[in-house]
Homo-oligomer: A and B are copies of this chain.
Amino acid sequence: MELEELGIWEECGVFGCIASGVGPSELDVPHVITLGLVGLQEARGQEVAGSRTHCTGMGLVNHVFSEDRLKKLYVSNLWIGHTRYSTSGISELGNCQPFVVETLHGKIAVAHNGELTNAAQLRRKLMRHGVGLSTGSDSELITQLLAFTPPLEQDDDPDWVARIKNLMNETPTSYSLLIMHKDIIYAVRDPYGNRPLCIGRLVSVGDVHAKGKDNSETEGWVISSESCSFLSIGAEYCREVMPGEIVKISRYDIQTLDVVPRPGGDPTAFCIFEYVYFARPDSIFEGQMVYSVRRRCGQQLAIEAPVEADLVSTVPESATPAALGYAQTCRLPYVEVLCKNRYVGRTFIQPNMRLRQLGVAKKFGVLSDNFKGKRVVLIDDSIVRGNTISPIIKLLRVSGAKEVHVRVASPPIRFPCYMGINIPTKEELIANKPEFHDLAKYIGADSVIYLSVEGLVSSVQESIKAKEENENNFKTNKFHAGKFGHCTACLTGEYPVELEW
């Protein structure tokens, strides 16, 4: 609840599309892009009260071409886009993506999800070379690095693989990139695989919704931060881009050009919070559905922190998979205690004193007949600052709950993230405050317990490891290109790379 309520995260998504075949395609590429971005927008930011920035529109306006030329580009049968969830409501114009620059070899466009851990050094390096930087964004750094000519390149034959590898050597993480040049899209994931990126195949709509789709004709390819939007645009999921992989996608085929290894044999470091919060439940990462991981977190939580109670419920809607998992393992009934007031959050009503006093309560209707006189286990997906759960607990008690036990389906956040996620400062995190020592009292619950870091990691890795042992196929092999791990830096302070300033 609280992640959603506070809107403390800043997360992006990228999406690209290319139509297959020779000549003009019947595929409406701008439509597919827009739908794909909308799907991502939903996933990567969840539902936050009125504060979402639809960067979509801007993202499709590039810095070099006019509307008319844009249409011509679309006619060229491919495009890339970008969406961004912003807590501020005002996004800086200069940060809009895709970022387009003209080079000696024509224009390149870059859409980027992630954050370069060594951005400050890269900026200084470029400016020392005499390049003026017109935005504060990492995307501009990436395009300017790509504009540099590698030593062995011939004047009339740009070597984009060499340029991309040069970029990857300059900065280890974190980025998932879509790079467009002429009629090619390059899809690149950083060697640590910190941000997600996956590939889907567009088939004719009749086919995607029918069985036996393997024989269907390929209408095009999509590359997306998440697979969740694939079904709603008529695409089927193919596979993830591997950590360090450079994939070249043309209108005719898909090719892996290279896989850049991690320095020193480091393990992969896919962001574990993608499972906990960002991703839409129907997305697939590392071969497993996010919903399943969340339910397993609930099951694990039931094992770690059981409680005598009459029913299990959820703070709708992000905690529902965990609540169902908890209920199933505890063999307690799953019951709804709150319903959401969808319109309140979205109305531009100036908050006055009465409204502020009502707080989060105004966002929920209470189904009191369902829990009057009962002991409730309330599953939440996160408690970060600790000030949104209290009014909910109060509402339940006033409406007749006998006891309210809170179980949190993720561990407490204690450290900042430098790889793309905008977390409150350390001081604001409840886990770093004195109140944390008697959190139940602070939030007004009868008890409160978080999932352990080990519990979360095992919920995430369990089925991947099970697959590893049983299978020996293409996909799992790919993940094995080096050691396997997850980034838990915000929970443990252990960052995948050394941070430079």
Q: Hey, which bits of chain A sit against chain B, CB under 8 A?
A: 27-28, 31-32, 34-35, 38-39, 41-42, 47, 61-64, 66-67, 90, 92-94, 99-104, 108, 123-124, 127-136, 140, 143-144, 146-149, 205-206, 208-211, 213, 228-229, 231-234, 280-282, 288-289, 291-292, 320-321, 324, 328, 333-336, 339, 341-344, 347, 349, 352, 354-355, 357-358, 361-370, 391, 394-395, 397-398
Contacts and interface: CB of A to CB of B under 8 A. Distances in A.
A28 B344 CA distance: 17
B280 A339 contact: yes
- Taken together, the copies of this chain in the complex come to 4
B210 A398 contact: yes
A237 to B, nearest CB: 10
A93 B367 contact: no
A401 B148 CA distance: 53
Contacts of A233: 354, 358, 362
Contact of A398 (B211, B229, B342, B367): B211
A46 B361 CA distance: 20
B211 A397 contact: yes
A291 B367 contact: yes
B131 A131 contact: yes
A129 to B, nearest CB: 7
B132 A101 contact: yes
A208 B361 CA distance: 11
Given A64-B94, A231-B364, 19 more contacts: A28-B354, A63-B134, A101-B133, A102-B132, A131-B131, A132-B144, A132-B147, A134-B134, A211-B397, A232-B362, A232-B365, A281-B367, A282-B365, A282-B367, A288-B369, A291-B367, A320-B336, A324-B335, A328-B333
Contact of A343 (B38, B135, B397): B38
Contact of A130 (B147, B335, B368, B394): B147
A61 to B, nearest CB: 6
Contact of A127 (B104, B292, B363): B104
B342 A42 contact: yes
Given A34-B349, A344-B35, A209 B361 contact: yes
Contacts of A281: 339, 365, 367
Contacts of A205: 354, 357-358
B127 A132 contact: no
A494 to B, nearest CB: 30
Nearest to A149: B130
B355 A31 contact: yes
Contact of A362 (B35, B133, B391): B35
B289 A367 contact: yes
Contact of A132 (B35, B41, B42, B146): B146
A449 B132 CA distance: 52
A342 B47 contact: yes
A336 B321 contact: yes
Contacts of A349: 31, 34-35, 38
A27 B143 CA distance: 41
Residue from A34, A61, A99, A361 whose CB has the most chain B CB atoms within 10 Å? A361
A219 to B, nearest CB: 9
Contacts of A123: 102
A39 B343 contact: yes
A475 to B, nearest CB: 16
Contacts of A228: 365
Contacts of A321: 336
Contacts of A47: 342
Residue from A62, A127, A149, A354 whose CB has the most chain B CB atoms within 10 Å? A354
Nearest to A206: B357
A355 B35 contact: yes
